[in-house]
């Protein structure tokens, strides 16, 4: 088995364990730790977590595939997720998507060939007052305009 928690995650695991009535409660925290450590959840990481928490791998697989934020494959360096739900659509999400597509030369659900950027549309991110908005990796960018979006992409491309 080639995966094990790094020292930070090991410490975090030890801190969390006594806080819950049952180790199984640590499924989501462990998956997050593994995903941060490797960029995605590898088969080895799944095997490792299943053993640590004494639960079947199949259960873990079911959990991972239920939640949209967990990924079983590596993702591009910059994952751009544009909110597509109603308030953002009313406030011009379409324009934002088009400007990203034009700038990066990719369509929704595609990555650039160098795997630096990936563009996806996602359901409501709970930032309706700042519509239209996108989440860059885990950082919210709200009240977007086409200009702001292009400036953001230029900054990242450097």
Partner 1 sequence: MITRIVSKNFEIPNSHTLAVAKANGVYESIDKAFTQPSYVIETEIENSGLRGKGGGGAPAGAKWCLATRAQEMDQTSAKSYLVVNADESEPGTFKDRQIMEFDPHLLIEGMMLTCYAIGAHDAYIYIRGEYKFFADRLNKAIQEAYDDGLLGKKVKGFDYRLDITVHRGAGAYICGEKSALIESLEGNRGHPRLKPHKPSPEYYFGAPTLVNNIETIATVPYIVTNGAAAYRQYGTEKSPGTLLFGLSGHINKPGIYEMAFGESMQAFIDTIGGGVKNGKKLKAVIPGGASTPILNAQEVKEARLDYESMKEIGSALGTGGMIIMDEDTCMVSALKNLLSFYHHESCGQCTPCREGTAWVDGIIANILNKKAKADDLELLSDISKTMNGKTICVFAPAVAMVIDGFILRFRDEFEAYIQKSLGEADA
Tell me which stretch binds partner 1 (CB under 8 A): 4-12, 84-92, 95-103, 108-116: 84-92
Per CB under 8 A, the list member of 10, 11, 14, 20 interacting with partner 1 is 20
Subset of 114-153 contacting partner 1 (CB under 8 A): 123-131, 135, 138-140
Closest C-alpha to 74, from 104, 121, 118:
118
Question: Minimum CB separation from partner 1 for residue 126, in Å?
Answer: 5
Distance CA 156, CA 112 (A): 13
Q: Find how far residue 46's CA is from the centre of its chain.
A: 17
Tell me which stretch binds partner 1 (CB under 8 A): 1-9, 60-68, 72-80, 104-112: 60-68
Distance CA 135, CA 82 (A): 6
**Site for partner 1 contains 89 (CB under 8 A):** yes
Question: Minimum CB separation from partner 1 for residue 113, in Å?
Answer: 27
Per CB under 8 A, the list member of 45, 46, 91, 96 interacting with partner 1 is 91
The residues pairing with 131 across neighbouring beta strands, listed in sequence order, are none
3-state secondary structure of 54: coil
Q: Any idea which residue has 């450097």 for tokens?
A: 158
Distance CA 37, CA 104 (A): 28
Per CB under 8 A, the list member of 9, 29, 38, 153 interacting with partner 1 is 29
Question: Minimum CB separation from partner 1 for residue 44, in Å?
Answer: 20
**Site for partner 1 contains 63 (CB under 8 A):** yes
Distance CA 32, CA 23 (A): 15
Within 8 A by CB and 6+ apart from 150, the residues are: 99, 103
Task: List residues binding partner 1 (CB under 8 A).
Answer: 16, 19-22, 24-29, 31-32, 53, 55, 59, 62-63, 66-70, 84-87, 89-91, 123-131, 135, 138-140
């Amino acid at each position: 088995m080639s995966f094990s928690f790094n020292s930070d995650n090991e410490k975090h695991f030890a801190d969390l364990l006594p806080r819950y009535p049952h180790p199984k409660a640590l499924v989501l925290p462990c998956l997050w730790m593994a995903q941060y450590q490797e960029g995605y959840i590898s088969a080895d990481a799944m095997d490792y977590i299943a053993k640590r928490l004494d639960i079947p791998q199949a259960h873990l697989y079911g959990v991972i595939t239920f939640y949209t934020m967990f990924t079983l494959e590596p993702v591009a360096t910059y994952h751009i997720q544009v909110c597509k739900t109603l308030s953002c659509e009313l406030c011009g999400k379409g324009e934002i998507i088009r400007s990203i597509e034009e700038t990066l030369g990719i369509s929704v659900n595609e990555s650039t060939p160098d795997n630096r950027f990936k563009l996806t549309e996602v359901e409501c991110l709970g930032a309706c007052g700042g519509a239209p908005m996108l989440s860059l990796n885990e950082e919210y960018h709200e009240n977007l305009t086409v200009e702001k979006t292009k400036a953001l992409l230029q900054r990242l491309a450097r």
